[in-house]
């Protein structure tokens, strides 16, 4: 928790029967975190019975790495529970190189397991909120007749891009013909003026019409209309044009982000407020290290839970960071280096040379790091949770997107919201150092910080009573209660 503001007031509905909301998260850190936030919100502010379903491997990872989640299982919280279903995959962490295997396996295996789970659940589910990336489980709820909402954990611009993948193929924009076509403006996506193919989610860059991820994302987008409504972890003021365009096609839209901020506002004595969502062990020593640094002088580096690098590329990045001259706090997962782990010779050597002003940890409490006064710049992959957390704390970004909708988020961060600089495509240490220096102390960096602080204030306003996200969250809670009451009768 990073917020010190007063608890968030909600008017809880009083349905005839207590709704039992089942939430189903895609098995990745970037999905689990907002799903847990939504589960907390529905339990504490809505007064609902809540069950959060993970796939088995992530369920046991969560209990292993998050003592607060394990405690919630061993000493159950009334009306709040965790559950699991198999996903058909080997019991090992997956990175971005395995993303199709993960998506394909959950699509094939999870529906039958989820159907079986629902058939034995007591009390029975009166509502399902499923991940847009697990839309085959939504189909199960629809078939059974349980009211279902779809929650897409990416940005509005990311969701809207995916919604146009079928049209990209129809118009011959995807699969791509050559590298030059990536700079072609895409003029038929309402609310996204000036967008290029290069800015759209990377799966649109397929070179074959039979590309499995391209076709999977088309099917996922088609599934978006099978629920009662769509939930997005964004706020109206951030993506106004895009969200207006989405509403024109999906009328029942609930924009309730940043969700982590809404749950920050829960009463501190709420039994679910402190349950953690991390799938890695958190190293809090970095916060003590930050306490010893000067205000707004630390470069925080984190590329999320899936990105992987060659040893050579990571070492080049390390030398560039070191050459910037600033203190560095760097999150390096154990599985982040292809073929050699973090002990790979070239990377290990570069990090050893940086020890005098570098702190390397395997995972951290990112919201606490971004809220720390010493954090000055965030070098990020532009994952949506990271983007929202950086905006929420007013921290400018250096952007190095990798896959999925991260390039789309990057374009909005840099070109629309004005809070970031995009890393040059060719990774050279001198380029890295120059970008970091500009973001920290350059004229562009000062303007980025000014705009980031403006967005921080807009986030705060959206959370307040009468704010856009507060109002949309309250509307969602009332609509779920109403629909569950009808379903129960």
The answer to whether 378 touches 346, Cβ cutoff 8 Å, is no
Q: Can you give the pLDDT at residue 12? A: 57
Q: Is 31 a catalytic residue?
A: yes
Q: Calculate the CA dihedral of residues 441, 443, 448, 449 and round it to 10 degrees.
A: 50
Q: Which residue in 20, 43, 87, 131 is the catalytic one?
A: 131
pLDDT band at 309 (very low <50, low <70, confident <90, very high): confident
Residue percentage of the chain with pLDDT more than 70:
91
CATH number for the region 285-458 comes to: 3.40.50.2000
**CATH (one of 3.20.20.70, 3.40.50.2000, 1.10.1740.10, 3.30.1360.200) for 20-277+462-488:** 3.40.50.2000
Residues 126-141, mean pLDDT to the nearest whole number: 95
Residues 49-70, mean pLDDT to the nearest whole number: 92
Is 60 exceeded by the pLDDT of residue 344? no
Residue partners of 178: CB distance under 8 A and separation at least 6: none
Q: Can you give the pLDDT at residue 97? A: 52
More confident residue, 405 or 15: 405
Q: Which residue in 31, 154, 164, 381 is the catalytic one?
A: 31
Least confident of 69-73, 333-337, 394-398, 483-487: 483-487
Is 60 exceeded by the pLDDT of residue 92? no
Domain boundaries, the chain: 20-277+462-488, 285-458
pLDDT per position as a tens digit, 103-116: 877 888 899 999 99
Report how far residue 333's alpha carbon sits from residue 280's, in angstroms, rounded to the nearest whole number.
Answer: 9
Cβ neighbours, 10 Å, residue 159: 27
Q: Can you give the pLDDT at residue 428? A: 93
pLDDT band at 96 (very low <50, low <70, confident <90, very high): very low
Q: Can you give the pLDDT at residue 2? A: 47
Least confident of 87-101, 199-213, 282-296, 385-399: 87-101
More confident residue, 394 or 177: 394
Angle between helices 29-44 and 468-488 (to 10 degrees): 70
The 3-state secondary structure of the chain, one letter per residue: CCCCCCCCCCCCCCCCCCCEEEEECCCCHHHHHHHHHHHHHHHHCCCCEEEEEEEHHHHHHHHHHCHHHHHHHHCCECCEEEEEECCCCCCCCCCHHHHHHHHHHHHHHHHHHHHHHHHHCCCCCCEEEEEHHHHHHHHHHHHHCCCEEEEECCCHHHHHHHCCHHHHHHCCCCCCCCHHHHHCECCCCCCCCCCEHHHCCHHHHCCCCCCHHHHHHHHHHHHHHHCCCEEECCCCCCCHHHHHHHHHHCCCEEECCCHHHHHHCCCCCCCCCCCCCCCCCCCCHHHHHHHCCCCCCEEEEECCCCCCECHHHHHHHHHHHHHHCCCEEEECCCCCECCCHHHCHHHHHHHHHCHHHEEEECCCCHHHHHHCCCEEEEEECCCHHHHHHHHHHCCCEEECCCCCCHHHHHHHHHHHCCCEEECCCCCCHHHHHHHHHHHHHCHHHHHHHHHHHHHHHHHHHHHCCCCHHHHHHHHHHHHHHHHHHHHHC
Q: 194-222 in b/e burial notation, b at 16+ Cβ within 10 A?
A: ebebbbbbbbbbbeeeebebbbbbbebbe
Is 90 exceeded by the pLDDT of residue 10? no
Burial class (CB in 10 A: 0-12, 13-18, 19+), 345: exposed
Q: What is the pTM of this model?
A: 0.93
Mean pLDDT of the chain: 90
Q: Is 131 a catalytic residue?
A: yes
Residue percentage of the chain with pLDDT more than 90:
74
């Amino acid at each position: 928790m990073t917020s010190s503001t007063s608890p968030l007031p909600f008017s809880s509905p009083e349905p005839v029967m207590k709704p039992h909301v089942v939430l189903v998260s895609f098995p990745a850190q970037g999905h689990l975190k907002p799903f847990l936030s939504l589960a907390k919100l529905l339990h504490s502010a809505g007064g609902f019975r809540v069950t959060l379903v993970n796939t088995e491997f992530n369920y046991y990872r969560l209990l292993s790495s998050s003592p607060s989640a394990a405690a919630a299982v061993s000493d159950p919280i009334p009306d709040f529970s965790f559950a699991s279903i198999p996903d058909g995959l080997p019991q090992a962490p997956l990175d971005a190189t395995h993303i199709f295997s993960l998506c394909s396996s959950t699509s094939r295996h999870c529906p039958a397991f989820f159907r079986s789970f629902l058939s034995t659940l007591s009390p029975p589910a009166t509502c399902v909120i499923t991940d847009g990336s697990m839309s085959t489980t939504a189909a199960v709820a629809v078939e059974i007749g349980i009211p279902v909402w779809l929650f897409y954990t990416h940005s509005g611009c990311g969701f809207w891009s995916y919604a146009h993948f079928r049209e990209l193929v129809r118009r011959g924009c995807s699969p791509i013909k050559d590298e030059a076509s990536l700079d072609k403006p895409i003029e038929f996506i309402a609310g996204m003026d000036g967008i290029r193919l290069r800015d759209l989610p990377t799966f649109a860059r397929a070179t074959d019409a039979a590309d499995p991820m391209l076709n999977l994302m088309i099917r996922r987008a088609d599934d978006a209309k099978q629920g009662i409504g769509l939930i997005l972890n964004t706020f109206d003021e951030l993506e106004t044009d895009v969200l207006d365009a989405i509403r024109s096609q999906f009328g029942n839209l609930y924009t309730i982000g940043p969700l982590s901020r809404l749950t920050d506002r829960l009463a501190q004595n709420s039994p679910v407020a402190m349950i953690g969502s991390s799938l890695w062990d958190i190293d809090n020593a970095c916060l003590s290290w930050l306490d010893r640094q000067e205000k707004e002088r630390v470069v925080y580096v984190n590329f999320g839970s899936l990105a992987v690098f060659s040893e050579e590329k990571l070492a080049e990045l390390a030398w560039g960071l070191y050459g910037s001259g600033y203190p560095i706090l760097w999150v390096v997962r154990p599985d982040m280096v292809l073929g050699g782990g973090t002990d790979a010779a070239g990377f290990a050597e570069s990090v050893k040379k940086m020890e005098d002003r570098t702190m390397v940890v395997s995972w951290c409490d990112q919201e606490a790091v971004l809220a720390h006064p010493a954090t000055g710049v965030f070098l990020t992959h532009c994952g949506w949770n990271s983007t929202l957390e950086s905006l929420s704390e007013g921290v400018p970004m250096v952007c190095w997107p990798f896959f999925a909708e991260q390039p789309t988020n990057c374009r909005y961060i840099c070109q629309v919201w004005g809070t970031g600089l995009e890393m040059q495509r060719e990774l050279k240490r001198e380029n890295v150092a120059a970008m970091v220096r500009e973001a920290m102390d350059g004229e562009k960096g000062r303007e980025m910080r000014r705009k980031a602080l403006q967005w921080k204030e807009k986030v705060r306003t959206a959370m307040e009573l009468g704010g856009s996200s507060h109002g949309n969250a309250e509307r969602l809670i009332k609509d779920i209660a109403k629909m569950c009451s009808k379903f129960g009768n």
